[in-house]
Amino acid sequence: MRTDTESFACPKNRHVRLKCFFAGKLSYNLPMRIATRLGGMATLWAATWVLGAPKAAFAADAKAELAPTGTLRGIFLGRNPVQATRTAGTGEYSGPVPDMLKEIARRIGVPYKLIPGENAAAVMDAVNGHAADIGFLAYDDTRARVVDFSMPFYLMYNAYLVRADGPFQNSADVDRPGAKVGATTGQTQQIFLSEMLKQAKVILMKETPADAEMARMLQSGEIDAFGQNRERSEAAAAKFATTRVLKDNFSSVGQSIVVAKGEMPKLAHVNRLIHDAIASGVVQASLDRAKLVGVGVAPLGK
């Protein structure tokens, strides 16, 4: 199990790995999978927007495709701090997902509506049922069979929370006989760990435990590590001195926009808008404002 995301090798079977994608080794459905392994990438979105449509025509077409009701409706994971956080006083959300929704709405000249979703299934149901125009999710193959994914606009790094006095020094140490690794069912971290861990046992949890409960489970030995995004792990470790976060990341995953399955014209517009937001520094500025731990701007394809 390779754990350093700076040198992570693509697994042969599936998931995540932005660096593999941009090296042409692994293709997401961006918007359709034409090449899935070694070889050149030839995707529909490249053909539709890289060639360059006139800006006025693009804006008009994008508005019609992305906001057919006149308002751009975007649904996201309402309890995921890597996507957005809610201000207690105002109830408003801030973070990279609200910022991207605002930027797309500004570019196509429409108002927007931000919709918090309960989980990934709710996000996918909303876009496929046209209760939302776009959604925000981290990529995995299971989800890609239900909705279509854009190119990623930022990366989320995942890291283990462990006992402060535990034996683990890096992520590779966790994959040992007898080790119990907690993960939330259906989240990208769980899917990755269930596939990649060969000796440790993954303990599936219906919902992510509260930080206090997670610290208790680690202290009692019910689990030896918990796999989640680094932002959450660092936040828990800051609250409970009995826990710490391993320094390396066990995986990284792209945060992307999703559309209803088969909506290729819409996805082409989304990819162009994401590309422009990355190239212009909009995404970096958003991440800087959010002060998130363990995220980074997704690299643009060559």
Determine the Cα–Cα distance for residues 291 and 96; give it in Å rounded to an integer.
Answer: 10
The answer to whether position 184 is within a domain reads: yes
Q: How many CB atoms lie within 10 A of CB 295?
A: 21
User: What is the pLDDT, as a whole number, of residue 31?
Assistant: 32
For residue 276, give every residue at least 6 positions away whose Cβ sits within 8 Å of its Cβ, in sequence order, or none: 107, 282
Predicted confidence (pLDDT) per residue in 170-227, tens digit:
999 999 999 999 999 989 999 999 999 999 999 999 999 999 999 999 999 999 999 9
Quote the number of domains for the chain.
Answer: 2
| pLDDT given for residue 293 in this prediction | 86
Q: What is the dihedral of CA 147, 184, 138, 233, to 10 degrees?
A: 170
200 & 166 share domain: yes
Q: How far apart are CA 53 and CA 300, in angstroms?
A: 19
Q: From the CB of residue 192, how many other CB atoms can be counted at a distance below 10 Å?
A: 24
Considering the domain architecture, whether residues 53 and 81 belong to the same structural domain is answered as: yes
- Residue 206 counted as domain residue: yes
pLDDT value, residue 54? 56
Asked if residue 13 is part of any domain, the answer here is no
Tokens 């030995």, residue located:
221
Which of 251, 269, 288 is the endpoint of a domain? 251
Same-domain status, 34 and 142: yes
291 shares its domain with 220:
no
Phi/psi of residue 149, nearest 5 degrees: -105, 140
In a domain, 1, yes or no: no
Residue 223, in any domain of the structure: yes
Q: Which 8-state DSSP code applies to residue 292?
A: -
For the chain, list residues with pLDDT below 70.
Answer: 1-59, 302
**DSSP class of 193:** H
- Do 109 and 222 sit in the same domain of this protein? no
In which domain, by residue range, is 222 found? 158-251
Same domain, 107 and 173: no
- Minimal CA–CA distance to 70: which of 105, 99, 103, 97? 105
- Answer whether residue 9 is part of any domain: no
pLDDT value for 9: 39
Q: Is the dihedral of CA 272, 192, 217, 120 positive or negative?
A: positive
Judgement on whether residues 262 and 136 belong to the same structural domain of the protein: yes
> Considering the domain boundaries, does residue 71 fall inside one?
yes
> What's 126's domain CATH number?
3.40.190.10
Rounded to 5 degrees, what angle do the CA atoms 80, 157, 24 make?
A: 120
Q: Could you count the other beta carbons within 10 Å of the beta carbon of residue 263?
A: 22
- Provide CB contacts within 8 A for 197, sequence distance 6+: 1, 174, 175, 181
Q: How much is the pLDDT for 302?
A: 45
